Amino acid sequence: MNFIGIIILLALFLLAVFTLANWTVLSASSTLSFIVFDIEGPLGVILLGAMLVLVALFVVYALTLKTAMLMESRRHNQELEAQRKLAETAEASRLSELRTQIEREFAQLREAIGGVDVRMDSHEQAMKQSLNEAANGLAALVAEMDDKIDRALARHASDTKGDRDEHP
């Protein structure tokens, strides 16, 4: 219960104590004028009854406002829940689209990498072949140079032997 509710209950309690303490005065009969006619009756009890009717109307009004507020709050909660579900659905859709896009891009990357691998393999084969050809060519040159050196050494050795035979 909030602060204002406590004050209202305290005021009603004090009014009840005041009414009980002065009940004889409130219930004393007097002549009441309603401009068009006059009535004999207890003025205090009539005013107390009118006040109780006004309090009852106020309570009904407050309950009506509270009920309307609760119904409005419930409607807002339902709308918020519907919006939340809509947002979750949209988010799931966006995530699904993102997943599809990423998968598509990865597939394109795999294709590109596969193409690069094929080209690299063909380049590797071409380089191996070129290296083999260069190595074979180099080996042939080395063999040819070796033959030339052997022939030159053999000629030189035969020339030197012939010179020794001539100059003993």
Q: What is the pLDDT of residue 129?
A: 92
Q: What is the pLDDT of residue 5?
A: 83
Q: What is the pLDDT of residue 157?
A: 80
Residue in the structure block whose two tokens are 């004050």: 7
Per-residue three-class SS string for the chain: CCHHHHHHHHHHHHHHHHHHHCHHHHCCEEEEECCCCEEEEEHHHHHHHHHHHHHHHHHHHHHHHHHHHHHHHHHHHHHHHHHHHHHHHHHHHHHHHHHHHHHHHHHHHHHHHHHHHHHHHHHHHHHHHHHHHHHHHHHHHHHHHHHHHHHHHHHHHHHHHHHHHHCC
Q: What is the pLDDT of residue 99?
A: 95
Could you tell me the mean pLDDT of each successive run of 10 residues in the chain, 168 residues long? 86 90 87 86 87 91 95 96 95 94 94 89 91 91 91 83 61
Q: What is the pLDDT of residue 162?
A: 62
Q: What is the pLDDT of residue 118?
A: 87
Whether the model pTM is above 0.85: no
